[in-house]
């Protein structure tokens, strides 16, 4: 659990740092929002497209080996991005970083699910919380270090950190975590349980919900630098803004857990999605200081919902195929988060960042009817999930 959490913190911290680098790339290479979105799409698209191959490779070579190699590759690729002199070379390094990052989500999530079985929802929440800690800590640390040093040497230090994390994974992560998942008789028996046939439809709905939820989040982060600049913010302010959002996201696990106990899973997601739309609209209207104060609340809404959705994957996965279910889930959700910013980037170039953010906030509302459709399927599987 600790090792997978460390890997999650490092990889998610790197992914979030892209938003810190975007204004630098924009100034250095003279890029518009569409070009920035395409660069990010190269990274996230590669990360998403290799989720399933990484899962298969992990079953053959063992999770520790594949996860360790991917961690080193991600750190080194980000360091090499500092040597890029143009868009093509920068895009190539982001593809390498995405290939390394593709190993983390399916393999680490499957390792946690395999270790804890039917009780995996809680440990998966802690694993996701570790990722939020990485998102909240690495970007502001890099923003501070980049002040006196510039961003190129700082990312060589990130490569060294990646090598250290990979060493810990290879040395301390049990080799048995890479063995194929065995299907316990109680789990295998769920194939005949009432409501089991609804899992396929429920899994499709879950992915659709995660797509809309994720699109709203990545679009907002794409335009967050522009929003901060419009309100008079500096690069240091952007680092603080990212940190506030991701700290809120980390707290979102506890907040959504509390809401879940009082309102239930379905109502929790509906409340957080409506809250996301309201917070995004308020963010546009507020001046800099109140907007910064609002960002942790927005982070709670965004990340709290995603953690609830991740924890539902094992309940809807086919028996013995949790690893494949996570890989498919992350492939779809990350793939959409690679393509959506391209559309939102075009909208930002055409209609302006404010309108793009408004559309992003409205996207979250599309989750509400889908969650209503998923509710009866989850209810029919409750006895199965507890067995």
Per-residue pLDDT of the chain (387 residues; tens, 9 = 90+): 688 888 888 888 888 888 777 777 777 777 777 788 788 888 888 887 888 788 788 878 888 888 889 999 988 888 887 776 778 888 888 899 989 888 887 788 777 777 776 666 667 767 777 887 887 788 778 877 776 666 677 778 888 888 998 888 888 887 654 444 443 333 444 444 444 456 778 888 888 888 888 888 878 877 887 888 888 877 677 778 877 887 887 777 667 767 766 777 788 888 888 988 898 889 888 888 898 899 988 888 877 777 677 777 777 776 666 667 777 887 787 777 767 777 887 888 888 888 888 888 888 888 899 999 988 887 876 654 444
pLDDT in the model for residue 387: 41
Say if CB 347 and CB 356 are below 8 A apart: yes
**CA dihedral for 158, 100, 348, 302, sign (positive or negative):** negative
User: Residue 133 and residue 136: Cα distance in Å, rounded?
Assistant: 5
Q: What is the pLDDT of residue 181?
A: 42
Structure tokens at 303: 């990340």
Q: Are 12 and 119 in contact (CB under 8 A)?
A: no
Q: What is the pLDDT of residue 182?
A: 41
Closest alpha carbon to 306 in 189, 209, 373, 380: 209
Reduced to 3 states (helix: H, G, I; strand: E, B; else coil), residue 32 is coil
CA distances from 245 to 43, 177, 191, 224, 248 (A): 22, 33, 41, 10, 5
Place of tokens 């194929």: 180
The pLDDT of residue 225:
79
d(CA 52, CA 134): 24
What are the b/e assignments for 137-173, b being 16+ CB within 10 Å?
bbbbbbbebbeeeebeebbbebbebbeebbebbbeeb
State the DSSP code for 31: -
Assessment of whether the complete model's pTM goes beyond 0.95 = no
Angle at the Cα of 336 from the Cα atoms of 156 and 38, rounded to 5 degrees: 50
Instruction: Retrieve residue 46's tokens.
Output: 């590669």
The reported pLDDT for the residue numbered 187 is: 41
Q: End-to-end distance of the chain based on CA atoms, in angstroms?
A: 23
3-state secondary structure of 179: coil
Are the beta carbons of 148 and 34 closer than 8 angstroms?
no
Q: Any idea how long the chain is?
A: 387
- Residues whose CB falls within 8 Å of the CB of residue 32, separated by 6 or more in sequence, listed in order: 26, 345, 349
Contacts of 103 (CB under 8 A, 6+ apart): 54, 57, 58, 66, 67, 69, 70, 71
Rounded to whole angstroms, how far apart are CA atoms 101 and 306?
A: 19
pLDDT at 192: 45
The pLDDT, as a whole number, for residue 119 is 64
User: Which pLDDT score is estimated for 138?
Assistant: 83
The CATH number of the structural domain formed by 2-179+186-386 is: 1.20.1250.20
pLDDT the model gives residue 382: 65
Contact of 25 with 122, CB cutoff 8 Å: no
């Amino acid at each position: 659990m600790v090792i997978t959490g460390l890997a999650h913190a490092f990889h998610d911290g790197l992914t979030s740092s892209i938003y810190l680098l975007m204004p630098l790339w924009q100034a250095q290479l003279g890029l518009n929002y569409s070009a920035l979105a395409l660069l990010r799409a190269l990274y996230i698209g590669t990360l998403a497209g290799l989720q399933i191959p990484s899962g298969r490779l992990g079953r053959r070579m063992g999770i520790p080996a594949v996860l360790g190699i991917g961690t080193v590759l991600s750190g080194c690729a980000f360091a090499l991005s500092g040597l890029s002199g143009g868009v093509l070379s920068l895009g190539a390094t982001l593809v390498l970083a995405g290939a390394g990052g593709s190993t983390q989500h399916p393999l680490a999530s499957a390792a946690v699910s395999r270790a804890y079985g039917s009780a995996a929802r809680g440990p998966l929440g802690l694993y996701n919380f570790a990722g939020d800690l990485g998102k909240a800590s690495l970007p502001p640390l890099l923003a501070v270090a980049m002040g006196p040093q510039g961003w190129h040497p700082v990312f060589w230090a990130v490569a060294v950190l990646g090598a250290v994390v990979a060493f810990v994974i290879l040395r301390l992560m049990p080799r048995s975590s890479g063995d194929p998942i065995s299907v316990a008789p109680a789990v295998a028996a769920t194939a005949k349980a009432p409501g089991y046939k609804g899992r396929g439809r429920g899994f499709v709905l879950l992915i659709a919900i995660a797509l809309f939820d994720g699109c709203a989040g990545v679009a907002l982060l794409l335009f967050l630098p522009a929003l901060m600049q419009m309100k008079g913010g500096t690069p240091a302010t952007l680092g603080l803004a990212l940190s506030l959002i991701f700290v809120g996201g980390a707290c979102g696990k506890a907040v959504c857990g509390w809401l879940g106990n009082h309102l239930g899973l379905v109502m929790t997601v509906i409340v957080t999605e409506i809250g996301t739309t309201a917070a995004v609209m308020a963010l546009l209207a507020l001046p800099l200081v109140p907007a910064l104060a609002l960002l942790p609340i927005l982070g709670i809404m965004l990340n709290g919902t995603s953690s609830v959705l991740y924890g539902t994957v094992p309940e809807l996965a086919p028996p013995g195929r949790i690893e494949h279910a996570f890989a498919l889930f992350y492939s779809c959700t990350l793939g959409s988060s690679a393509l959506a910013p391209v559309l939102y980037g075009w909208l930002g170039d055409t209609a302006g960042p404010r309108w793009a953010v408004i559309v992003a906030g409205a996207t979250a509302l599309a989750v509400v009817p889908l969650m209503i459709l998923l509710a009866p399927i989850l209810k029919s599987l409750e006895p199965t999930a507890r067995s």
